Amino acid sequence: MLVQMLKLAWKGKKMQLSIVTTLFKSQEFINEFHQRICASANLITNDYEVIYVDDGSPDDSLKVAIEIQKKDCRTRVIELSKNFGHHPAIWTGLNHAKGDLVFLIDSDLEENPELLPLFYAKLNDKSHDVVFGIAKERTGSWIKRIGGSLFYKGFNILADIPIPENLLTVRLMNRNYVDSLLTHTESTFALSGLWARTGFDQAPIVVDKGFRKVTSYNLVRRVSMLVHTLTAFSGKPLVASFYLGIIVFLLSVIGALKIVVDRVFYSAPPEGWTSIAVSIWAIGGLILLGQGIQGIYLSKIFLETKRRPVSIIKKIHEARESHADKIQPAA
């Protein structure tokens, strides 16, 4: 039934599809991923391309992807010069995608490649610009689940642009949205914020997400991601540090007045040095906190002024002839 619906939606309509994914410690998944994503793409059109971005993977992911590219003229492999990170690698792939539609998905099979036809049907259902995945429930240990929940709640409280909770990488976007997304010029960014900031008509789909016991997103990296994302899209931490300073100052004034009143009217001597030491530590910590917040923002400004590229491409592995010259569009 789904296949018939897709064929009806496709009839009389020319399109080209780009599938973008990144590679990092992915060698055991690539072959299966490629077979499944190509099978899903063929339900929609045979005019598609698969773009693999190797993010300096330390295993044989690049080698496996190149072997696939040699056999499949629809495939391109973008080899980065080093590991730049997940989001810069995705950004690089989006910049090289040529399709009228762009399907973004991770290659580790945690996100089901068979979601593509479902997303395509949803995109055409009410002419959405973007269809994105939301995890039905968080996977992993209870610490990771609680940490993930706190990440989204904390971000949406402090950020100027809220993002959906349990947001996944997988999404299908039309060309207008992708072109608008790529007009952002910052070199330090978080994609979740840029996706939301770009706007357009975006529709969520709740999906089941797989779970890998080994992940590169450990607790330290998740905390770092929260700080990075928050400071990239909100100035509220700076405002909060200002008001926190005012509150601490008012409390210190109240404490000083209490000491004066006790001394003058009740002849009570000041309390011991313990309270003074605690106050110094508390105020010193708040000062360092405020300076640290300001330092993070200053470092982002410093990096942006350098205008460094998001990533550096070492080599692009692709067929000499465009696959469009070899493949006729679907009837």
> Does 122 map to a domain?
yes
- Please give the residue that has the higher pLDDT: either 205 or 257: 205
Domain of 180: which CATH number? 3.90.550.10
Q: Based on the domain organization, do 162 and 297 belong to the same domain?
A: no
177 plus 317 within the same structural domain: yes
Q: Report the pLDDT value the prediction gives residue 12, as an integer from 0 to 100.
A: 38
Same domain for 146 and 66: yes
Q: Please state, as a whole number, how many other Cβ atoms lie within 10 Å of the Cβ of residue 41.
A: 23
Are residue 143 and residue 17 in the same domain, yes or no? Answer: yes
Q: What does the pLDDT read at residue 13?
A: 45
Least confident interval from 160-164, 187-191, 323-327 = 323-327
Tell me the C-alpha distance between 247 and 7, whole Å: 64
CA dist 71 to 64, 66, 322, Å?
11, 9, 14
Is residue 198 domain-shared with residue 147, that is, in the same domain?
yes
The reply to whether 176 falls in a domain is yes
Are residues 194 and 80 located together in one domain of the fold? yes
pLDDT at 328: 36
Structure tokens at 278: 């605690």
pLDDT, greater one: 286 or 312: 312
Residue 227 in domain: no
Considering the domain architecture, whether residues 150 and 204 belong to the same structural domain is answered as yes
219 band by pLDDT with thresholds 50, 70 and 90: low
Q: What is the mean pLDDT of residues 57-73?
A: 93
pLDDT in tens, 92-122: 999 999 999 999 999 999 999 999 999 999 9
Give yes or no: residues 209 and 279 share one domain.
no
User: Residues 276-283: what's their mean pLDDT?
Assistant: 69
pTM for the full model? Answer: 0.73
pLDDT at 325: 43
pLDDT of residue 305: 78
pLDDT in the model for residue 10:
42
What gap in Å lies between CA 47 and CA 326, rounded to an integer? 10
**One domain for residues 146 and 248:** no
Q: The domain containing residue 149 runs over which residues?
A: 2-215+309-326
Lowest mean pLDDT segment, chosen from 238-247, 290-299, 322-331 = 322-331
Residue 243 resides in a domain: yes
Give pLDDT, residue 130: 95
Q: Is the pLDDT of residue 202 over 90?
A: yes
Angle formed at CA 41 by CA 129 and CA 100, multiple of 5 degrees? 35
Do 189 and 256 lie in a common domain? Answer: no
